[in-house]
Structure formats: C-alpha cells, structure tokens
A = this chain, B = another copy of it.
C-alpha cells in the first residue's frame, strides 16, 4: 500500500500517518518528492483491508493506492501450479476441456433424461440443470426444488454424468450438496458472503459465477471466501457483465479468461448462454472462449426451447448443441487442447 500525501501536507500530518502505520504493526517508508511525499506501507497489508480506509481519512492524505492484491489464496503468487478439480473422475483445469450442458431448469423426468442422453452423446461431460431458480420477478417459475434434485440424481444414475446445480441460500447447502456433484453459486449471489461461507464448508466442488457487475478483483475476493474455509475445489465461470449495450443480455468479458489464467491458479469456464441471451450467438461466443483459453463451457440445451419454462431464447436444441460440439472440438485442437471424454455410465 502506498499513501500519497497532499502537496500541502504538513510535517505533523506525515508523522501522524507513519505513527498510525506503526500502531498496526506495519512499517512506513518515506519517499520525499518535489511535488509531494509518498509513504510505502510494508508488512502484512493484504489481510487488513480496513487500513486503507483509515489512511484515506487521515488529514494530509491525498490518496491511498493498494499494491498488494487483496486476494491471496486464489492468486498465482500463492500457488503457481494450476488447480485441477476432480468431479467423479472428470477433471477440470487440465488440458482437456469439459462441457457442462443441460436445461436452464429441470422441468420433468422426461425433459431431463432426454437432455442428459442427448448432451452426453454429443460429448458433454457434466449435466447442468436448475432445481432452485433465482428470478428477477416473483411471478416467474422458481424451480421444482428438491424434486428437481432427485430428477438430476436419476439422470446421473442413468447416464453416468456428474451434475451441477445452483444453490440459492445457505440453509439449502446441505440438501443440494446431498445430491449435486458441483454446487453452483450464481451471479446474483457472488457476494452473498454467508452462502459463500457455507459452500466453502461443504467441501464440495463449487462453480462460482462472476457477478453481473463484479470486477475481476471482486470475483477473486469472493473465491477467497470459499478457499479460506479450506475448500480448494473451485471453478470460476465468466458469464457476461452488464454494460450499456442492450442487444445482448450481457457483454461477455472474454479477456477475463486469460487474465484469470495469468493471475490465478483456478480453472475458468465460460457460459455463452447467459453471456449473450440469444441462442444464435452462443456458438460464436463458445468458440471465442475456447480460443482464448477457457477450461470448459456451460451451455443451456433443451429438447424444445420454444416451450422451455425458463431461458428458452438462449437455449440450444439438441441438433444445435451437436454442431456446437463439433466446432468446439475443432477450435480446441487448434489451440492445443482436447475435449474430455464423457464418463462411462
């Protein structure tokens, strides 16, 4: 952390800042410039974020610039080697890409089973499907609840595909963890600290989506909640951010993929379905994500998107999903990656 003093800061004010730094068990290095004085703060700053706030408020202080990243456990500096998450034998974060596919929401036994078989045949490795659905409007479909979890478990039993499904609230973590192979934390809950704590404690693999207006730094801090509970089975998911552009539901921040790969050891996958909101853009963005280095994809697929209870406009038919997989395979090869093989039944 660097404290930049005002041009007109007095000796006493500079002294005050340095005393305060020492009170916190840190050290302050003075650097006297022509225009102003700067003070480098040295020590274990990253676990004391409130110090920055104190400094900003002190008389004579112009600005405070953090230089250590605030996240630690999720950073490449902390762990150089890439994290590989193992989900019933499907590994995420290695050379082979994983593809998670399935409907936005579980609707019926027939719907989820037919989808599970179809996406598996096309090459998907993991089945997605929502049982507890967050929703902007209270009048929208909110999912089948535990009944949906049971249907997902049935589909896993039949097809052998591990399942990923969203958990909305801390109280449900145990229930969802009882069925799911990966707990999904959705974009709306990226900063739901109590939920992050519980997901951390569950020791289940977690898929953490980026919040709709979260910076990459905030996302990695959310990851930190889970990691700091001792749960290292964590996968990040870029799913688009909110911008002024209204053509698409969100704007996918493809650069987040190489950035995460550079600054963090965690695997990162992409969700082009929520990232665009339009089925006819999904394949293009899936290919872009793979070309940019994503470790996998999560794609909404539905036997009959026109009749889906949720997110129909961004869901692929089985045929379109098959075509997506063919193209993904081709681009993956071009960047030196393979596709993971679907697990046996």
Contacts and interface: CB of A to CB of B under 8 A. Distances in A.
Give chain A's interface secondary structure class.
mixed
Contacts of A192: 168-169, 188-189, 192
Interface size band for A: 35 or more
A74 B62 CA distance: 18
B169 A135 contact: no
Given A40-B38, A137-B224, A292-B287, A213 B242 contact: yes
A253 B288 CA distance: 11
A262 interface: yes
Interface string A266-290: 0000000001100111001101111
Interface string A189-229: 10111111000000000000000110111100110110010
Contacts of A335: 287, 327, 330-331
B243 A243 contact: yes
A221 to B, nearest CB: 5
A280 B6 CA distance: 15
Given A7-B77, A67-B38, A242-B213, A191 B188 contact: yes
A253 B255 contact: no
Contacts of A82: none
A255 B284 contact: yes
Given A192-B188, A245-B215, A285 B255 contact: yes
Interface in A143-175: 168-171
A81 interface: no
A306 B58 contact: yes
A325 B328 CA distance: 21
A31 B31 contact: yes
Given A255-B285, A335-B330, A137 B29 contact: no
A241 interface: yes
Contacts of A253: 243, 245, 251
A63 B67 contact: yes
